[in-house]
């Protein structure tokens, strides 16, 4: 079946503009995660959605970052007033209840803020 998909694959934006990144999880996966990976670094947790529960937003770096998950499926990560330090690869992952520990990652969106 289809894996996790993300769009766009690459995004170049000017400092101060807003961007939206999209994630389509694996069908039936109840958990969805967003991570950020800066150049040469490990992944930094941003936000976690599980079913209809309130999301865990503890990893969002500032109030310019927000995310929503509509209908328990597709998720959008929004970054307002982008800054150069927001440049990174944004990775989305999903997991099922039966295998909640194993996360399946999408290919990521490479964001470049100029």
Per rule CB under 8 A, is residue 101 in the interface with another protein? yes
Q: Which of residues 52-81 bind another protein (CB under 8 A)?
A: 56, 59
CA distance 62 to 80: 10
| Sheet with 65-69: strands ordered across | 5-7, 19-24, 75-79, 65-69
Taking the least distance from each CB to another protein, the nearer of 25 and 106 is 106
CA distance 113 to 30: 32
Q: Which stretch binds another protein (CB under 8 A): 13-21, 48-56, 67-75, 76-84?
A: 48-56
Our finding on whether 41 is near another protein (CB under 8 A) is yes
Q: List, in sequence order, every residue forming a beta bridge with 69; answer none if it has no partner.
A: 75
* CA torsion, ordered 53, 58, 59, 65, to nearest 10 deg: 80
59 or 80: whose CB is closer to another protein? 59
CB of 7 to another protein, least distance (A): 13
- Chain-centroid distance of CA 17 in Å reads 18
Residues that bind another protein (CB under 8 A): 4, 31, 33, 35, 37, 40-45, 48, 50, 56, 59, 89, 91, 93, 100-108
């Amino acid at each position: 079946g289809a894996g996790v998909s993300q769009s766009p694959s690459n995004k170049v934006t000017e400092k101060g503009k807003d961007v939206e990144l999209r994630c389509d999880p694996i069908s039936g996966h109840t958990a969805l995660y967003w991570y950020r990976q800066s150049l040469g670094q490990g992944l930094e947790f941003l936000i976690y959605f599980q079913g209809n529960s309130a999301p865990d937003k503890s990893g969002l770096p500032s109030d310019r970052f927000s995310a929503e998950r509509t209908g328990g499926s597709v998720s959008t990560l929004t970054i307002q007033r982008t800054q150069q330090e927001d440049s990174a690869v944004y990775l989305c992952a999903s997991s099922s209840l039966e295998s909640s520990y194993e996360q399946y990652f999408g290919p990521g969106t490479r964001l470049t803020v100029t």
